C-alpha cells in the first residue's frame, strides 16, 4: 500500500481530521505516524481507495516522499 500524508486545511475543525482517520481505518488503511507541529498524519492506504480520501474538502492528501534540505 502506498503511504500518503493527510493534513487538515486551515480554519477547519479538528474533528474533520478524526473523520479522515476513521475513513482510513474503515477502508483498510493504517495510520503510521501522527504529526505534532501540524494537524495531520501519514497512513498506508489502499491505492484504489485514495481517490475517496482525496475528495474530502477539509483535508489535503499527498504522496509521502523523502524531503531534503539544500
How far apart CA 29 and CA 43 sit, in angstroms, is: 7
Give the predicted TM-score (pTM) of the model: 0.87
pLDDT tens for 10-50 read 999 999 999 999 999 999 999 999 999 999 999 999 989 88
Domains, the chain, ordered by start: 3-61 (3.30.70.80)
Q: Would you state the pLDDT for residue 67?
A: 76
Q: Would you state the pLDDT for residue 35?
A: 95
Q: Would you state the pLDDT for residue 47?
A: 87
Q: Which residue has the higher pLDDT, 41 or 51?
A: 41
Q: Would you state the pLDDT for residue 42?
A: 96
φ/ψ (deg, to 5) at 21: -60, -45
Amino acid at each position: 500500500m502506498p503511504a500518503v500524508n493527510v493534513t487538515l486545511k486551515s480554519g477547519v475543525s479538528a474533528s474533520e481530521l478524526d473523520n479522515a482517520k476513521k475513513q482510513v481505518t474503515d477502508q483498510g488503511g493504517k495510520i503510521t505516524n501522527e504529526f505534532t507541529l501540524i494537524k495531520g498524519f501519514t497512513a498506508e492506504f489502499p491505492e484504489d481507495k485514495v481517490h475517496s480520501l482525496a475528495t474530502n474538502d477539509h483535508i489535503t492528501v499527498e504522496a509521502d516522499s523523502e524531503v531534503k534540505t539544500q
